[in-house]
Chains A and B, each alone.
Chain A
Amino acid sequence: MRDSSSRIVITGVGLTAPNGNSLSEFRANLLAGVAHISEIDVRYMGKLPAGVCNFDPLKYQKRKDIRVGTRAGSIGVYCAREALADAGVAPEALKKDRTGVYIGITEHGNVETENEIYNISQFKYDTKFWNHYHNPRTVANNPAGEVSLHLGSTGPAYTLGAACAAGNVGLIHASQMLRLGEVDFAICGGVSESVRTFGIFAGFKSQNALGSHPTDINKSSRPFDVSRNGIVISEGGCFYTLERLEDALARGAKIYAEISGYCINSDATDYVLPNPERQVECVRAAIAKAGLQPRDIHIVNSHATATPMGDIQECEALRAVFGDDCTETSINNTKSYIGHCMGAAGALELAGNLPSFDDLTVHPTINIDQLDPKCALPNLVINTPRKVAKVDTILNNSFGMLGINSTLIVKRYFA
């Protein structure tokens, strides 16, 4: 076992979001206030707003791989290859058996199962028309497995089911595996293909939690705005390459940030409704693990999904943690641009803030025409980027159903 205090660093980022297919494009749009929400045809439901990615899957995959595999697998392969390229690691140079692939998912298999049921509905529900790829497409490890197949990596490759906290969980788990010495190199993050399953849309609609806007589709997702009316479902992916600091330094890697602190806990109170008390405990525990005080956190990226109650509850939690002495703490949100990328949300939202270490700018949350007074947090960055004197720490919150909470803190790398 390695020294459990090993320092873990981020050395590469690969992503696709509804408004960008690279970190630079994503960041430029976050600073320019460019949201990108599309209207898509959802089976049985009609046209609905959703966040859809437009990366080119053929950049790294063959047509047959795309046909046989899943959308989550394609997103995963794209993000993995982009992250490796960003890290300056050629796929053939990977130590195959010492590389771990740890991918957070909110759900997987709904898309493929719905497609097959629809397919056999065209044949009077005769199951002899059921596709023989159904099982490899729907096993829970599919997105990680497709990455492993593509890269030829033979180390552990699996997913972590953690609802919408999953993106953070992927990074946290990878950090732990590196510290344990289970692997020497990790590809980790989160992925979502949820825009292709009507069940997710129908489920949120039945909860009265599906977001829309009467005139401007790009305002469909508007956390903290008084008129917010729910979640915009999105797809996306964001993978990081993580390494132990000594390994990264030995190969002269670029270092984006260091993993500083984290916490995963559970509400244990409700299937759906969040519990601000447990959120507070999660954020405080992560800050304590990082050896910091709340006032030391410079950016807080909120989870807020634009549901009427959820946003208020997270604001309650953030108010409880970040008191009057947190004058240098800015708070923002990314879902206002891209909707809720589900399993990818935490990883994407962290990525969108990483460049703040260099440009000392906090991207805003957009689409706030009228701030809900109950969401009026001090230092909430609204509609316009904010220049700040110092960014040494970023805290990312991601919460999910069944009461799973995750907080991840990264800090500027100092030798």
Chain B
Amino acid sequence: MTKDECKKLVLDIIADIAPDEDLSNVKPDVRLRDQLQLDSMDFLDIVMELRKRHGIEVPEADYLKLASLDSSAEYLVPKFAALGK
């Protein structure tokens, strides 16, 4: 999985958990919470959806690595690779 594919996958999850948000101009290097109406429960949703849809586990200590799309891709691509994806 490429980083761009990974970012799209995270954005697809955000589209479901924050359906009122306009995601057309999300800046990959800016914290998601600084540009979208997301709270801590929404981040738990992102973690849950990664688990349900992709079998990816994000331990609580690593939640901050999901801060932006760039950091998410940086963190998640190796996890997908470890699953052979």
What is the interface of chain A, defined by CB distance below 8 A to chain B?
A: 62-64, 67-68, 123, 128-129, 131-133
Contacts and interface: CB of A to CB of B under 8 A. Distances in A.
Contacts of A67: 17, 19
22 contacts: A62-B20, A63-B19, A63-B20, A64-B17, A64-B18, A64-B19, A64-B20, A64-B37, A67-B17, A67-B19, A68-B41, A123-B52, A128-B51, A129-B48, A129-B51, A129-B52, A131-B48, A132-B41, A132-B44, A132-B45, A132-B48, A133-B41
Contacts of A132: 41, 44-45, 48
Of A63, A64, A128, which is in contact with the most chain B CB atoms at under 10 Å from its CB?
A: A64
A63 B21 CA distance: 10
Nearest to A133: B41
A62 B18 CA distance: 10
Contacts of A133: 41
Contacts of A64: 17-20, 37
Contacts of A131: 48
B28 to A, nearest CB: 22
Interface string B36-51: 0100010011001001
A133 B18 CA distance: 15
Given A64-B17, A67-B19, A129-B52, 9 more contacts: A62-B20, A63-B20, A64-B18, A64-B19, A64-B20, A123-B52, A128-B51, A129-B51, A133-B41
A150 to B, nearest CB: 15
Contacts of B20: 62-64
Interface string B64-83: 00000000000000000000
A123 B17 CA distance: 20
Nearest to B41: A132
Contacts of A123: 52
A133 B41 CA distance: 8
Contacts of B48: 129, 131-132
A11 to B, nearest CB: 32
